Structure 1
Amino acid sequence: SARPRAPDAILESLSGPRRWGPTRWSRLAEGVFRGDKGSRKEDAGSAGLRREASSGAARAAKVEPGWRSPRNQSLGCGRSVAGRGGGRAKRGSRGASCESRGTSRRRPRSPGWCVGEAAPGSRMKRGGRDSDRNSSEEGTAEKSKKLRTTNEHSQTCDWGNLLQDIILQVFKYLPLLDRAHASQVCRSWNQVFHMPDLWRCFEFELNQPATSYLKATHPELIKQIIKRHSNHLQYVSFKVDSSKESAEAACDILSQLVNCSLKTLGLISTARPSFMDLPKSHFISALTVVFVNSKSLSSLKIDDTPVDDPSLKVLVANNSDTLKLLKMSSCPHVSPAGILCVADQCHGLRELALNYHLLSDELLLALSSEKHVRLEHLRIDVVSENPGQTHFHTIQKSSWDAFIRHSPKVNLVMYFFLYEEEFDPFFRYEIPATHLYFGRSVSKDVLGRVGMTCPRLVELVVCANGLRPLDEELIRIAERCKNLSAIGLGECEVSCSAFVEFVKMCGGRLSQLSIMEEVLIPDQKYSLEQIHWEVSKHLGRVWFPDMMPTW
């Protein structure tokens, strides 16, 4: 007959690593994270494993007395794991069997040992095997218990139970469309989607598919915002294309913002200023709704709009204490008196952008009063549509002096879109300009006056000059404008020697140096290849002239 399996072999076959292989563990983990019935099947399997271990131990208790464990052969012990009593009951038959064969494998017994009793060390070894078996069973049960606990936790864990403050912080980093998709996960997330903190800022993009390739805000979304979140809006901007319909849609939305108190409002024309195509009364009516209901408006950008003096008075009456930024370039219906009213009443105004025809000595003095805060940014657009038809007045030097004494760190930015014969009123005396941009051709004489009258100049951009080299003018600007750090030259001409001298005088403070390759004229001293290395040496960094694309 076949020899029965040893108890140690049985327990070894039931040990964890062999029964719970990688495949089985992976299936169990998959069931736990899914929260499906797979994890419960594994629990049933672990229970069956314990039953199999118990039955194996029972079979080990019925081992025939003639069988010797490999570990107990040296001790001549025929005891089974059933207990000491069973071993003593069968010692006689065991001894008779050995004597009948005329052989004996037993070694001399040490004093104090009983006949057929295993040595104390052997008992400890078998006891260790028993404890190993019990430990294995307990470990398997512990693993099964942990798996059941993990499964129960995965089934009870609900993403909807996360704190709404945490979900809110995550939603703030998501685009609107992604937030809308996430809001469909559960009711709690949908509540977070409609929290006021997520609707403080919104940009309405209003475009006509027939005239613009830009994506517009969906009309249904606009309705929902006005219905549910209009009182939450604080920072609003409108981007409209060149169509009149888009400008009308923006005014319709403004007219419905009666329950909100805006802090910033921007009306931006991405192409041709379409707000100017609207009836003036329609636009003013919509804008006045915002001015009246917003008591803490701090930033207003209304460039290229038909705003007028009465609407500015409404703005001042409701937001004089909070207005800090006002950009209203190219607003033909506003008079110097209207902008002067704003400067007189809004003492917290720090940034202002307007056209030159609104600039006056009275305005500069009002911005320089003791009640007014120090201005940080003043932009002036000097624009002429038709040559010879626009008269440009002159600002007194004393007004500029008072202004710069009151706001010594102000950035005075001036954009010039004039024809050459219209520059006569400008740069006749020292002005505190820091940034100058010439969008059209400017004469050699005007650039020479810039070097003499703009000592605070930081940035200079010249789009075109003509065919006369600007060598002397550049050297003069480098000598007088000690703060110059950026320069750009377009359709101009400068000799390579004069340009190298200009860079040498300015040194490393030139953080921006944008010069087209066609501007530089080679001479006897420097070629185009040599000027690259020479300019790089004086700048302290690698420099190349800009090149026109070849397409």
Structure 2
Amino acid sequence: MKRMKGAEEGSNNSPSNSPSEACKKIRKQTSDETTAVVASESADCDWARLPQELLLHIFQYLPLLDRAYASQVCRGWNQAFHMPELWRCFEFELNQPASSYLKATHPDLIKQIIKRHSNHLQYVSFKVDSSTESAEAACDILSQLVNCSLKTLGLISTARPSFMEVPKSHFISALTVVFVNSKSLSSLKIDDTPVDDPSLKVLVANNSDTLKLLKMSSCPHVSPAGILCVADQCHGLRELALNYHLLSDELLLALSSERHVHLEHLRIDVVSENPGQHFHTIKKSSWDAMVRHSPKFNLVMYFFLYEDEFGPFFNDEIPVTHLYFGRSVSKEVLGRVGLHCPRLVELVVCANGLRPLDEELIRIAKHCTQLSAIGLGECEVSCSAFVEFVKMCGRRLSQLSIMEEVLIPDHKYSLDEIHWEVSKHLGRVWFPDMMPTW
């Protein structure tokens, strides 16, 4: 009995039959079974039979080149590659290897798109480098879109001169093809191009009921009369961007007429091509008419002027909401901004010089009661004045981008102390920027 009991106990305590070993066997068996099931499912899975809706969703996330490679896997994937939904939005990248490091859309793919998908294109942009060859290639493609019905068109030059070097007749002819055949354009961005008044008339004649956004800064062949033609007939226009030389009292009054819709965004680029250039003055009464007609419209102004060219600006009240100074601007001009821009929401000053802007900043905080975003680059402001500015603006400052070099320590605050004081008035943690964020 003892021998049998001992043998039984020895059997129960042997390593091969311990509880831990039993668990290991169970886990190994389960693992083997799972591996077998996965292998079986993988063998049964046919990627070629994925639903086209799922393939379409996957293809939309693939870069164009990878999408083209995927289309060569099987017939089903090739059919998905040519589904119309994939070609509604497309960007033609036309860059010359000798003058650009950017990739270009392969010529064979462009031919295939024009042949099979030109009637599917709806949201199209052309991105070209500074070479004339790239701009001409874009014009050639535009002239072939006779079956298209575009909703948006953007011509983007990554560097000048690009489209401006193309013969004007060639460019206008190509653009007219789109204007005539689309008839449903809602957004048109044609900055830095030789577009002219007659071509705008063609645009209006065919797309007046649908055009909502027209962006055409730096278009020297367009006159105020051409813009008036658009403003008078495109009653759905909501956003307009143009150069200051096209802006006039007559245009503002036209945009403010009862029969015209309420404009939501007006962007004006004030650019000096040559030092000492003369700029005209817009009457306060014209701006007032615009505000009465469209009280909530945003007036965005980009200034790229030399200091002695600001004479015509900010002498009277102007309803600007977003103001950007791309070149150095004097204390005097910034002082006038504080007095005459009561609707100001955002202010960016890239450079000023070495004269502190304490008084000007306090004036802006006092009079611009809607200011919620400010950025200062190569300027100088004492730490005390900056804290006072933040205190006056309060927590409405949602964007505060100030370079560390801008802040000058004084008897009240050092650079190590200022971020605590500013954070307290903002209601959130704040530090000065090491690099500009605008």
| TM surpasses 0.5 | yes
Matched, 1:400 2:287: yes
Matched, 1:261 2:269: no
Matched, 1:416 2:303: yes
Change (3 A) 1:518 1:22: closer
Kindly provide the CA deviation profile for residues 407-426 of structure 1, in whole angstroms up to 9, marking residues without a partner as x: 11111000111122211111
Match for 1:384 among 245, 250, 272? 272
Give ranges in structure 1 of 5+ residues lacking alignment: 1-16, 36-153
SS at match of 2:320: coil
Deviation at 1:22, TM superposition (A): 6.2
The match for 1:527 is 414
The match for 1:543 is 430
- Code of the residue aligned with 1:304 in structure 2: it is D
Determine which structure has greater relative contact order: mean sequence separation of CA pairs < 8 Å that are 6+ residues apart, divided by chain length: 2
Q: Residues 430-449 of structure 1: matches in 2 within 5 Å?
A: 430-449=317-336
Change (3 A) 1:169 1:521: closer
- Code of the residue aligned with 1:475 in structure 2: it is I
The match for 1:94 is none
Match for 1:213 among 101, 113, 126? 101
The match for 2:41 is 33
Deviation at 1:179, TM superposition (A): 3.0
The match for 1:77 is none
SS at match of 1:455: coil
The CA distance in 1 between the partners of 2:29 and 2:274, in whole Å, is 87
The match for 2:362 is 475
Matched, 1:285 2:293: no
The CA distance in 2 between the partners of 1:332 and 1:251, in whole Å, is 19
SS at match of 2:430: coil
The match for 1:240 is 128
Kindly provide the CA deviation profile for residues 162-192 of structure 1, in whole angstroms up to 9, marking residues without a partner as x: 4433433333333333333333343233222
The match for 1:42 is none
SS at match of 2:348: strand
Kindly provide the CA deviation profile for residues 346-369 of structure 1, in whole angstroms up to 9, marking residues without a partner as x: 110001100001011111112122
SS at match of 2:347: strand
Deviation at 1:461, TM superposition (A): 1.0
Kindly provide the CA deviation profile for residues 440-493 of structure 1, in whole angstroms up to 9, marking residues without a partner as x: 111111111111111110111112222222111111110111111111112222
The CA distance in 1 between the partners of 2:39 and 2:320, in whole Å, is 72
- Code of the residue aligned with 2:215 in structure 1: it is K
Matched, 1:456 2:343: yes
User: Aligned Cα RMSD in Å?
Assistant: 2.2
Matched, 1:318 2:231: no
SS at match of 1:469: coil
Deviation at 1:380, TM superposition (A): 0.2
Change (3 A) 1:518 1:182: closer
SS at match of 1:372: coil
The CA distance in 2 between the partners of 1:254 and 1:372, in whole Å, is 31
The match for 1:512 is 399
SS at match of 2:428: coil
The match for 2:6 is none
The CA distance in 2 between the partners of 1:258 and 1:365, in whole Å, is 37
Deviation at 1:538, TM superposition (A): 1.4
Match for 1:183 among 71, 87, 100? 71
Q: Residues 79-478 of structure 1: matches in 2 within 5 Å?
A: 154=44, 158-388=46-276, 390-478=277-365
Matched, 1:496 2:405: no
SS at match of 2:242: strand
Change (3 A) 1:162 1:426: same
The CA distance in 1 between the partners of 2:32 and 2:151, in whole Å, is 61
- Code of the residue aligned with 2:142 in structure 1: it is L
The CA distance in 1 between the partners of 2:183 and 2:64, in whole Å, is 28
The CA distance in 2 between the partners of 1:395 and 1:22, in whole Å, is 82
The CA distance in 2 between the partners of 1:235 and 1:362, in whole Å, is 33
The CA distance in 2 between the partners of 1:395 and 1:207, in whole Å, is 40
Give ranges in structure 2 of 5+ residues lacking alignment: 1-24
Deviation at 1:503, TM superposition (A): 0.9
The CA distance in 2 between the partners of 1:492 and 1:214, in whole Å, is 35
Q: Residues 9-20 of structure 1: matches in 2 within 5 Å?
A: none
Deviation at 1:279, TM superposition (A): 1.0
- Code of the residue aligned with 1:378 in structure 2: it is L
SS at match of 2:370: coil
Identity, % of aligned positions: 85
SS at match of 1:439: strand
Deviation at 1:34, TM superposition (A): 5.5
Change (3 A) 1:369 1:162: same
